[in-house]
Amino acid sequence: MRIEIWSDIACPWCYIGKRRFETALDGFAHRDEVEVIWRSFQLDPSLPDHFDGTETEYLSQTKGMPADQVRQMFDQISRQAAEEGLDYDFDAIVVANSFIAHRFLHFARAHGLMPEAKEALLSGHFEKGRDIGDIAYLAEVGTSLGLDAAQIRRVLESEEFTAEVRADISEARALGATGVPFFVIDRRYAISGAQPTAVFAEALETAWSENQKITVLAGGGSDDSRESGEGAVCGPDGCD
């Protein structure tokens, strides 16, 4: 079974959704027969290479959200992240365009290290305040995974893997994704948002036993479910 996951490194619900999905996959009887493929998506392609300010200031200035509202949103997301064993630090986040980091992920995929690179960048961005738009940091991550730092710098200073990132984004839109995380199982089922672990577990079982055209199993949700973080999603205008 093949599962493709579209996500953005700068998406807080994507990391939470990753953990919930992984928990479900760990409990899936056929997990050794599941291939997981990470795909690129950008929530905010218009973001400059770097923004000189905090994540709160960026959202307040660009999305017109009051700072208090942004901080409340971050507090709620942080609580949900903590339940999955993640330690978010929104005050330390370096606001940077994620495109070059997605190119690095495709480079890592070419060396069979996409999952490890994805985890490292998400943790670096949300938990450690590292700069995902900085080639030196990306080379550091790559080196920790056994990749050659000089080769990473050469690739990222060129246009290599630009087409691959753009192709992923176009494909997500063609499949109907309007936000991330977005999970597609065998091109038959789609799951939108950081759903509860039980939803992912049920989807894995259903997809394993049935064969039908792609159907959205979960998305959107009631106000109550969004408040609890169930099925929460990030889109171009911000995060639930």
| Residue 222 neighbours by CB under 8 Å, 6+ apart | none
80: Cβ–Cβ under 8 A, 6 or more apart, which residues? 16, 194, 228, 229, 232
What per-residue confidence (pLDDT) applies to 40?
Answer: 98
Do residues 127 and 88 touch, judged by C-beta distance below 8 A? yes
CATH value at residue 175: 3.40.30.10
DSSP three-state, residue 184? strand
Please determine, for residue 240, whether its predicted confidence score (pLDDT) is greater than 80.
Answer: no
**How confident is the model at residue 237, as a pLDDT?**
75
Q: pLDDT tens for residues 71-129?
A: 999 999 999 999 999 999 999 999 999 999 999 999 999 999 999 999 999 999 999 99
Mean pLDDT of 57-71: 93
- Residue 186 CB coordination number (10 Å): 16
Q: Mean pLDDT across the chain, nearest whole number?
A: 92
Q: What is the model's pLDDT at position 115?
A: 96
Burial (CB count <10 Å: 0-12, 13-18, 19+), residue 160: middle
pLDDT computed for residue 212 by the predictor: 43
Residue 109, Cβ density class (10 Å: 0-12 exposed, 13-18 middle, ≥19 buried): middle
Q: What is the pLDDT of residue 236?
A: 73
Q: Which of 4-13, 89-98, 228-237 has the lowest mean pLDDT?
A: 228-237
* Range 216-236 average pLDDT: 65
- Contact, 168 vs 155, CB < 8 A? no
Q: Is the peptide bond before 181 cis (omega within 30 degrees of 0)?
A: yes
Average pLDDT of the segment spanning 179-189: 95
Range of the domain at 146: 2-239
DSSP letter assigned to residue 50:
B
The total domain count for the chain is 1
Q: Model confidence over 42-55: pLDDT tens digits? A: 999 999 999 999 99
Compute the distance between CA of residue 120 and CA of residue 110 in angstroms, rounded to an integer: 17
Q: Cα dihedral sign for 231, 232, 233, 236?
A: positive
Give pTM, 2 decimals: 0.88
Percent of the chain scoring above 70 in pLDDT: 92
